[in-house]
Structure 1
Amino acid sequence: MDEHVTNIINDLKKDNVQAYLLTKFTNVEYISNYRPTSFAFCVIKEEPIIYVSSMDMEIAKNNSSLEVKEYESMDVMIKELKSEGIKNLAIEPSLPFGSYEKLKDDFTIDSKTYIDKQRMIKTTLEIEKIKKATEIAQKSFLQLDILNNKNTEKEIAFDLVRLMIENGASKESFDTIVTSGASSSLPHAIPQAKRLEKPILIDWGAIFEGYCSDNTRTIVYNEKQQEIWDIVAEAHDKAIKAIRPGLKCIEIDKVARDIIADYGYGDRFIHSTGHSLGLDIHETPGFSIRDETVIEEGMVITVEPGIYLEGEFGVRLEDTVAIYKKANVIGDLPLKIE
């Protein structure tokens, strides 16, 4: 049985829980190597099983490491689980409310994050896939020749996605951000049909064999922009240097946040310092003002401080780090693009 499944079953036993229901696509993939295309109910128990739609039976049989069975109806699934003596059921916090409503009368239900705990620590193979996704994304970025690119933001975003796919990605890991000028002060700006203005901020990532990458670079052009860039770069570098197993995520966020605050821009750093990634672009834990998670070896987390001056411009610099005895930056793209 897969190590991840075994670990979750051990967690279930500790809590006297008989089964754990998963429906989130990336969680099902993580457990079984099968990624649903429509829906699936994965039940982790002594003999795990995945109920899949008829449309997915072929792909599930070809890829799943767990037993698969065609889903007939919720009533049939509930009847089969009850016939095994299952009375209590753990669910993901993200389970759709409609599914919960159909289950609550037949089982004692509790929300558990066993799967999130498992996914916090990446295996060597998972980290290698994230490294490859990063390599593809960074190579594609350099091929854009952004400093000499005369296309619009939307065209550049399209070209970057095309290059990533040509270089081996299955797709982009989130909607690619290419923004410039005043709109760069919007952390999640949408590329516009306009030629590049100054500064230029690009936030992009690739997916390789299911695993995501994430980088951001900001290209600045005048003294004020350079001043802000230097502050963000200092926060970025010192936060990465501070990362060690045994510290709490909140402590790393504080390192970056305090530097930016010391320069008088504390209220202009309007998001967390970083987030884990893997099969999803946003996973737990993250470097934030509320995350008390203790950092462990094997975690993969972004570091992305930013300063956003409303109506003027924004600067964000982001790298992803794999944590061992210290934080190792994944990829080799220079922080400063010139």
Structure 2
Amino acid sequence: MKINRLEKILDSMRKSNIPQLIISDPASIFYLTGKWIHPGERMLALYISIEGKYKLFINELFPVSEDLGVEKIWFSDTDDCVKILSESISRNKPIGIDKNWPARFLIELMKKDVASSYVNGSFVVDKARMIKDKEEIELMKNASRLNDMAMEKLLDLVVDAHSEKKLGELLLSIYEELGAHGFSFEPIIGYGKNAANPHHSSGDATPKEGDSIILDIGCVKDSYCSDMTRTVFFRSVKEKSKEIYKIVLEANKRAIETVKPGVRFCDIDFAARDFIESKGYGKYFTHRTGHSIGIEVHDFGDVSSINTDIVKPGMIFSIEPGIYLPGDVGVRIEDLVLVTKDGCEVLNKVDKDLKVII
């Protein structure tokens, strides 16, 4: 077990009056143990108690020979795995359940009437994961460095007028050449009117002169994710598109300038959204300003108008305002930021000045 991370979890459990916790999310188990286990439909559970009992319940199909600093409890496909788990739970005490534990396990555990109550314990691990330690920060910086390199290589290929889908395939090859471990999410590559769909799925479209081109890409390196968006224009740019680009870029910069310990996530969202609204495009900024990122490309937490949580050093999240005019043009500019003790560090270095690919 990674002791410093475990201590953060235990401290939060004590403060939240959660004496015991079942962690089922593979990403959170990796966070604590350094081991990825993908159980599919089978049960996987890490049991933690403030009394110092730590047990990993794991199917025999997933051999783990390493010492993970936690007792491993094995079961087979024909065992009653929930019964085996229930025998380790402290009776007549509350228990937290994290993340998306399948109902077939949770309901069976509840039927056994071992805990006094069941509570949503997701926030215990999620909020701990929001604050990156030194090791995680270096891994995130490295993933973003690779993503910057990939974006520069991808921009060089736009001139060849590949289809959206083909450009995505070439991006995967670029990541492999750079030593990344594949996509952190399916890339969003949109030309022209497709760029006006914030979550467009890449298709067979090819770029036409004057099109805006959204390139929203990310890779995984050493189990940590990157994410960045740049928007460029193909062969020429219309005056209206120039205006929109400048507005989005200024919104991106204003939001980044707002990031520092003590501000609220909603204040950062407001910095971007208020500027876009002041220019008359508020209804065309249709999503939140950003999201947290780490082991998963969308970690817990977001930069939205309703999130009043306070920003703290060690947090990493995206700043990605956009304007999308249906059937016409879309612009999004996204960077990842690391919150420092007195501000933030932008992890992406790819130039954001308006670029026309000729």
Query: TM bucket by the smaller chain?
Result: over 0.9
Counterpart residue number, 2:225: 212
Output the amino acid matched with 2:129. R
* Residues 200-245 of structure 1: per-residue CA shift (max 9 Å, x gap): 1110001111100000011132211111000000000011011111
What is the number of equivalent residue pairs in this alignment?
A: 335
| Paired position in structure 1 for 2:258 | 242
Moved more, 1-10 or 130-139: 1-10
2:157 is equivalent to residue 150 of structure 1: no
Question: Which of 121, 136, 148 is residue 126 of structure 1 equivalent to?
Answer: 136
Change (3 A) 1:74 1:191: same
1: CA distance between counterparts of 2:160 and 2:69?
46
Separation in structure 2 between the aligned mates of residue 247 and residue 312 of structure 1, nearest angstrom:
36
Counterpart-to-counterpart distance in 1, 2:316 and 2:240: 33
2:331 maps to 315
Q: What's 2:20 paired with?
A: 19
Q: CA deviation digits over 1:102-126, x for unaligned, max 9?
A: 1223222111210011011001111
Q: CA deviation at 1:93?
A: 4.2
Q: Residues 328 and 224 of structure 1: is their aligned pair in 2 closer, same or farther, counting only changes over 3 Å? A: same
Instruction: Give the superposed CA RMSD.
Output: 1.7
Q: SS state of the match for residue 171, structure 1? A: coil
CA distance in 2 between partners of 1:15 and 1:176 (Å): 39
Any conservation in 2 of the 1:172–1:206 contact (CA below 8 Å)?
A: yes
Q: Secondary structure at the match of 1:307?
A: strand
Verify: 1:110 aligned to 2:119, yes or no.
yes
**Cα distance change of structure 1 residues 308 and 22 upon mapping to structure 2, 3 Å threshold:** same
Partner in structure 1 of residue 351 of structure 2: 334
For the residue of structure 2 that corresponds to 1:57, the secondary structure is coil
1:69 pairs, out of 73, 90, 98, with 73
In structure 2, the CA distance between the partners of 1:79 and 1:218, relative to structure 1 (3 Å rule), is closer
1:176 corresponds to: 187
SS across alignment from 2:308: coil
- Greater shift, 218-227 or 169-178, is seen at 218-227
Q: Aligned partners of 2:313, 2:82: CA distance in 1, in Å? A: 43
Is structure 2 residue 33 aligned with structure 1 residue 32?
A: yes
Give the match for residue 146 of structure 2: 136
Candidates 270, 282, 292, aligned match of 2:298: 282
Give the whole-Å Cα distance in 1 for the aligned partners of 2:58 and 2:99: 21
TM-score normalised over the length of structure 1: 0.94
Q: Confirm or deny: 8 A CA contact 1:33 1:63 kept in the other structure.
A: no
Does the 8 A contact of 1:184 with 1:313 survive in 2? yes
1:49 aligns to what SS in structure 2?
A: strand
C-alpha distance after superposition, 1:234-282 (max 9, x if no partner)? 0000110111110110001001000000000011100000111000111
Deviation at 1:76, TM superposition (A): 3.2
- The whole-number CA distance in structure 1 between the counterparts of 2:302 and 2:157 is 30
Equivalent in the alignment of 1:273: 289
Give the alignment of 1:64-103 within 5 angstroms. 64-71=68-75, 72-82=79-89, 85=91, 87-103=93-109
For residue 330 of structure 1, what is the amino acid of its counterpart?
L
User: 2:279 aligns to what?
Assistant: 263
Q: What is the distance in 2 between the residues matched to 1:64 and 1:73?
A: 24
- Partner Cα separation in structure 2 for residue 264 and residue 14 of structure 1: 46
- Post-superposition Cα deviations, 1:155-210, rounded to whole Å, max 9, x if no partner, equal 10111122112211111100111110111110010111122231111100011111
Give 3-state SS (helix, strand or coil) of 2:173's partner: helix
Q: Using the alignment, how far apart are the partners of 2:71 and 2:58 within structure 1?
A: 10
How far apart are residue 12 of structure 1 and its match?
A: 2.4
CA spacing shift, 1:79–1:143, aligned 2, 3 Å: closer
Is residue 73 of structure 2 the alignment partner of residue 57 of structure 1?
A: no
- How far residue 148 of structure 1 moved from its aligned partner, in angstroms, is 1.7
Aligned-residue offset at 1:285: 2.3
Q: Which moved more, 1:90-99 or 1:315-324?
A: 90-99
SS in structure 1 opposite 2:11? helix
Q: 1:92 to 1:147 in 2, by over 3 A?
A: same
In structure 2, do the counterparts of structure 1 residues 249 and 277 end up closer, same or farther at CA, with 3 Å as the change threshold?
A: same
Can you give the 5+ residue segments of structure 1 that lack an aligned partner in the other structure? Answer: none
TM-aligned CA deviation for residue 86 of structure 1: 6.4
Give the Cα separation in 2 of the matches to 1:284 and 1:17.
20
**CA distance 1:301–1:15, shift in 2 (3 Å):** closer
Identity, % of aligned pairs?
28
Give the letter for the 1:164 counterpart. Y
